[in-house]
Amino acid sequence: MQIFTYTPPSIPWLDIRYQDRDIIVINKPSGLLSNPGRADNTFDCALTRLLQRYPEAILVHRLDCATSGIMVFALNKKAESNIKTQFQNRLSKKTYIAEVSGHVEKTHDVIELAIKPNHQSPPLQQIADDGKPSKTYYNVIEQRKSSTLVELKPVTGRTHQLRLHMLAIGHPILGDDFYGDNAVIAASNRLCLHAMTLSIAHPYSQKELTFTSSHPFK
């Protein structure tokens, strides 16, 4: 694992994909924190950038710093409560795209491996029988020369779930400097994990909305 240094991208500063009176949706770049960390130099993040323009913005879920893609924020307390409840009750639908090391043999499968914090090396997590139940469906999209493009649909939302589940079946996500070996880290200048689609019920109308951001792993 490499030592974490935080140099968030500045272009684009904010990639807003949707906005109404209740929610705002952005396409978060890889390398930008979702919300501030403890250190002073981590103040710059998706939330603080939004707050500069929309002081009422409220964080309702997170993406890992290294993960890019769709994030939704609430613009009032009622919307915050509604969307958080959807996430907690697993009513939202998420699809990620990842490029992983090697050739995944099964075209589709489900991974059910419990996860808990690695207290010896925070903020890392680990697969453990006494961890929290975790479930991910995957489908192979494309076999490449020495990697595989996969679609990942997590049922649960554990910290580092997709990284750990792909690692556990022998196919770590390229560019993963938390769990990958030197070859995996060197294979990409970023973590090859992208939150491509997010579907939620609108907190006011209850109409299902789906937001999409094309993956960059061409």
**DSSP codes joined into one string, 82-102:** HHHHHHHTT-SEEEEEEEEES
Please give the pLDDT value at position 2. Answer: 47
| 217 within domain boundaries | no
Stated pTM of the model: 0.95
One digit per residue, the tens of pLDDT, for the chain of length 218 reads 444 689 999 999 999 999 999 999 999 999 999 999 888 889 999 999 999 999 999 999 999 999 999 999 999 999 999 999 999 999 999 999 999 999 999 999 999 999 999 999 999 999 999 999 999 999 999 999 999 999 999 999 999 999 999 999 999 999 999 999 999 999 999 999 999 999 999 999 999 999 999 999 99
Kindly state whether residue 218 falls inside one of the protein's structural domains: no
Task: Give the whole-angstrom CA distance, residue 168 versus residue 179.
Answer: 10
169 in any annotated domain: yes
Residue 6, in any domain of the structure: no
State the pLDDT at residue 39.
Answer: 85
Residue 114 lies in a domain: yes
Q: What residues make up the domain containing 110?
A: 16-212
Residue 145 lies in a domain: yes
Q: How far apart are CA 33 and CA 67, in angstroms?
A: 9
Q: How far apart, in whole angstroms, are the C-alpha atoms of residue 151 and residue 50?
A: 29
Cβ(69)–Cβ(27) under 8 Å? yes
How far from each other are the two terminal CA atoms of the chain, in whole angstroms?
Answer: 26
CATH value at residue 66:
3.30.2350.10
Q: Catalytic residue numbers?
A: 64
| Total domains present in the chain | 1
Could you tell me if residue 47 is inside a domain? Answer: yes
Any domain includes 156: yes
Omega before 12 within 30 of 0, i.e. cis: yes
Helical spans, DSSP H, in the chain: 46-53, 77-88, 161-168, 182-186
